[in-house]
Each structure stands twice: as C-alpha cells, then as structure tokens.
Amino acid sequence: MAELMNSTVGKLLQETAARLPEKDAVVYPDRGLRYTYSQFEALCRDTAKGLMKLGIEAGEHIAIWSTNRPEWVTAQFATGKMGAVLVTVNTSYRTAELEYLLKQSDSTTLILMEQFKDTSYIDMLYEIVPELKTAEPGKLKSKKLPYLKNVIVLGENRYPGMMHWDDVLALKDGVSDEELDKRMASLDPVDPINMQYTSGTTGFPKGVMLTHNNLVNNALNIAECMKLTDQDRLCIPVPFFHCFGCVIGTLACVSVGATMVPVQEFDPKKVLEAVEKERCTALHGVPTMFIAELNHPDFEKYDLSSLRTGVMAGSNCPIEVMKAVIEKMGAKEITICYGQTEASPVITQTRTDDPIELRVATVGKALPNVEVKIIDPVTNEELPYGQQGELCTRGYQVMKGYYKNPDATRDAIDKDGWLHTGDLAIMDENGYCRITGRLKDMIIRGGENIYPREIEEFLYQHPAVLDVQIVGIPDEKFGEEVMAWIQLKEGQTATAEDIRNFCLGKIARFKVPRYIEFCDSFPTTASGKIQKYKLRKMAEEVVSSKSASFK
C-alpha cells in the first residue's frame, strides 16, 4: 500500500514544477492561454505574495465566487502556498445563500466574477453590502458581514469599493520570496486549506473543512487509480467550486504533473472541441454531461481518439451511458468514483483494468489507505458481504469537521472515526460496492422497500428513454407511490402506457411506476447533480393537480 504524503497544496505544486518545468500545466484552448508548470508556479507565488501584502494571514478565509476562470485555479494554489482557507461558492447562489455563506464562514475576502449567465454578481453583492459602494477598497466595514474587508473582482471593469485582480498581483513586490517561503514552511498539513459548503438539500449548508493532507492524498490516490501520469491531458468541464473540479480535476493533475484543460462553463460542444484540439487523454463529467456530449448533433464529427481515461461521478452512473462512453468516446479506461465532500471527496473508485462488468455495475473498491464497511442503519452492526446497508468510511480522507458546527460533526463522524455517508450500498467479497440509493430516497410502498436506482437502471434499457429519475410521493393507501420522470431521446415518442407495458412482467408489479411524466430536463445543482427533492415536490404538485397519468 502506498505511503501517505504529509505535504501542503502549495508544496505539491512547487515540487511538480521543479520536476517538470517545461510541461504544460494549464491550457484554456478557447482563450489561447497556456502556462507551463514553471510559469504557473511563478504566477501562484506572485498571487500568494499579493494576498499576503493585503494583510491576509494563514487560516483566514477567502471566498471565491466564479466559474472555471484561470484566476480560480491560480487562487487555489496561491492560497495553498500562503495558507488562507479557500471557501468555494456555488455559482448558482443568490443573495440569501451568498449572505449566509459569507457570514457563516467568517470570510475576510471575496473574489468574484462580474456576472454568471444573466445574473449580475456585482448587483447582488451591493444589495447584501450597501456600504461597499462608499468604502475604500480593502477597508470595508459592514454591519451584516463584520469580517469581510476585501472584495476582488475578476473582469475588465472597476467598481466602487472593490479591488481588481490585477491590483492584487501588483502588490507582489511588497513581499519577498523569503517571506513567502517562511509562510509556506509554517503551514501544517493537518490544517484546513479548503472549505466547501454541502448543497443543503436538508437544512442550511454546512462548511466542510478539508485539510492539505485530506486533499493531496485523495488527489494522488485518484490519479493512481485512473493511471494518470505527466503524459496525460485532462479536460475539466466540471465546476471548480465542487470537489469534482478542484480535487478529482486540478489537484489530481498537479499531483502527477498532468495538464489541466479546463472548460470555463459546461457546454457539450466546447468539451468536444477541447478534447479534439488539445488531444486530451482524459475527461471528467457527471452522467448528464456525458449524455449531452454523446447526444450532441455533431458528436460524430469530432476526433476523440486520444481519450483513454477519466472519471464519471457526482450522481448514479447509468450503465448504458458508461458503455457508450467506453465504446463511442473510446475512453476504454474511464473510472467511476464515489464519495462525498466530507470525504475529500473520493471513497471508492474502479480501476482502469477492472472488467467492464465491474466498471458499469459498481463504484469500485476503497482507495488505498481508506476503510469501508456496510452497517445496519438501525443497529450500527457491520453487515456481511451481499447485504444492503449504510456505507461508512474511515481514513486520512475524512474531513476535519463542519465549521462552527460540532453537533453536526458528531452526527456525521462517530467516536471511532467512521464517517456515516447516508448512502445505501452493497459490498461484494472483493470489496466492490454498488450504491443502491440514499437512506432518505428509499421508497416504502405498502411495507415494500423500493430503491429508485433499480427501476432507473431498468428503464434506461427502453429504446426511447434518454434519462430517467424515480421518486416517491405520498399516497393515502400505500404510504408512498412510485413516480417516473422521463426524458425521451430526440425524435423518439412514448406514452405512459408504453413505459408501463415495458415494465410489466419484467419487474415486480409494486415497482412499476404508478405515475409517469415526460419532461425536457431535470432540476440540477450547478455541479450537475440532480435535485431529487425538487423532483419530489414537482411530482406532488403534478399529482395533486390531477394532470399525471394514472393507472
């Protein structure tokens, strides 16, 4: 088993740049931007010095609210060098969510882009912090957000009360290399360096504190499982604010010296273009992204022959989609990852040489130096192989805890150090796990336990079905009933009766969806995760208005 590293994020980049100075580190094909590892290391050092000159100490919190711009990845490694904790902000947040995060995280600095899609981030910030309009840059005094002092904007324009990203870089000469090296040497790898807020589908989002060692070791193990090396070029269309982007993506690349090829905002055409233009050997994505790429009308025109590996993760990976990625995209060594933010994020991963059956039917086995067990959620007793229960994990990858929330931390991590994931799973005798659902997503119909994943996998086999989500809705007679939300493939048609007939005789009658609705898209988070709680709410509204299809 590989030894664990005891290193900081900033030192990891420094060592890779020393080993591979002329290797491409970051490439934005659509911007014509290209940094070698020595150039990227120098840029991150300059940015770190600029942040130090602003008076930002190690352990202070810097929030970043932006899509996958070049400044995002620079900020990630600059803070990794000067020791400020990077607090990642979901690009879909609006005023109430942003205010909550900035307040709860005690962030002293906010880095933000001007706007995302049609929404002005600048206007939202002025709404939350009206004092910003008359404040001297770097000296904000806000009643609502007493910690917030610095606001740094990414973009061409200047705004009252805010600094420009270039202003920070211009401060670099005010801090010597020796001062930065001293700061870097003072950082403890067991201290938090990254804080990510859980999506908050139940209650308020919680700040997950992740340490240098959490992230560096997880990134190395992920790279090892997908056989990523300094010869690889990884296309990263998943958002940096999510662990998928900034750990499985950027940090995994830096851990081995691979090239990062980010896509600023997901667009299937831009992904296909980037893979072709840069001869990417690896590609990351959530299933909905791969579905969009595979179904792009120009898909056949792109040369994707360079693809070899990558990661599909973020939500359940449909078997048919996985097969298409391997066969049509040529990513024959693509892996599946499973985990959660609280685990830095990866817990299990398939290996590149696993047989196809394991790579399409499981989420792999535990990473090196990671323990996994399946327990009875009621008794907490460990279950034998082949029995369904809650997946728990223990090891270097488990978070430091939730920021300022010791009660929630105790609920998530037991006294023996096991993180309780809330996911239902079955483990085989070789340690390979199948995720069978969320504890809270399980549907109980008339005393029968129904797992949405099982019905979804079955319905993916219908020739007209592009994507499907199964949810449970309240029912007076049975307690809960099954509802299917279905997206059809372009040019295909099907009725609720067609879908129901497809099920009859193949799956148990109590699993056949009583309600079937067709839709064009599913509600998702900015990172591409499907929000089942929203689908449940929509389902209840549809059924109560009597517009659903009844049996």
Percent composition of the chain: helix, strand, coil (DSSP 3-state, to 5): 35, 25, 40
Q: Is the pLDDT of residue 199 over 90?
A: no
pLDDT given at position 548: 41
What are the domain boundaries of the chain? 35-197, 444-544
Contact call for residues 390 and 375 (beta carbons, < 8 A): yes
- The mean pLDDT value for 388-411 works out to 96
Contact call for residues 279 and 308 (beta carbons, < 8 A): no
pLDDT given at position 364: 97
Strand order in the sheet with 370-375: 370-375, 389-395, 419-427, 433-438
Tokens of 97: 């969510």
CATH architecture of the domain with range 444-544: 2-Layer Sandwich (3.30)
**H or E element in which residue 254 lies:** helix 250-256
Is residue 501 exposed (0-12), middle (13-18) or buried (19+ Cβ within 10 Å)? exposed
Q: For residue 520, which of 451, 464, 467 has the smallest C-alpha distance?
A: 467
Residue 345, preceding bond cis, omega within 30 degrees? yes
Count H helices and E strands in the chain, helices first: 18, 28
Local confidence band at 75 (pLDDT 50, 70, 90 cut-offs): very high
Asked whether the CA dihedral 416, 417, 422, 428 is positive or negative, the reply is negative
DSSP 145-181: -TT--EEEEESS---TT-EEHHHHHHGGGGS-HHHHH
Q: Is the pLDDT of residue 204 over 50?
A: yes
**H or E element in which residue 467 lies:** strand 465-475
Bridge partners of residue 358, in order along the sequence? none
Q: Is the pLDDT of residue 549 over 60?
A: no
Q: How far apart are CA 159 and CA 289, in angstroms?
A: 35
How do residues 472-526 score in pLDDT, each as one tens digit? 999 888 888 999 999 999 999 999 999 999 998 888 888 999 999 999 999 987 7
Bridge partners of residue 445, in order along the sequence? 448
Tokens of 421: 């994931």
- The mean pLDDT value for 389-396 works out to 97
pTM of the model: 0.85
Fold of 35-197: Rossmann fold (3.40.50)
pLDDT given at position 346: 98
Local confidence band at 105 (pLDDT 50, 70, 90 cut-offs): very high
How do residues 120-137 score in pLDDT, each as one tens digit? 999 999 999 999 999 999
User: Residue holding tokens 């202003």?
Assistant: 167
Rounded-to-10 torsion of CA 225, 227, 232, 237:
-20
Q: Is the pLDDT of residue 1 over 80?
A: no
pLDDT given at position 532: 86
Rounded-to-10 torsion of CA 211, 215, 217, 221:
160
**Which is more confidently placed, 46 or 530?**
46
pLDDT given at position 201: 45
Q: Is the pLDDT of residue 251 over 60?
A: yes
Tokens of 516: 């079937």
- 319-327 and 287-294 are packed helices; what angle lies between their axes, rounded to 10 degrees? 50
Q: Is the pLDDT of residue 551 over 50?
A: no
Local confidence band at 2 (pLDDT 50, 70, 90 cut-offs): low
Q: For residue 209, which of 393, 58, 342, 12 has the smallest C-alpha distance?
A: 342
Work out whether strand 433-438 and strand 419-427 pair parallel, antiparallel, or are unpaired: antiparallel
Mapped onto helix, strand or coil, the DSSP state of residue 329 is coil
Q: How far apart are CA 272 and CA 244, in angstroms?
A: 19
pLDDT given at position 550: 44
Phi then psi dihedrals of residue 210, to 5 deg:
-115, 135
Q: How far apart are CA 437 and CA 377, in angstroms?
A: 13
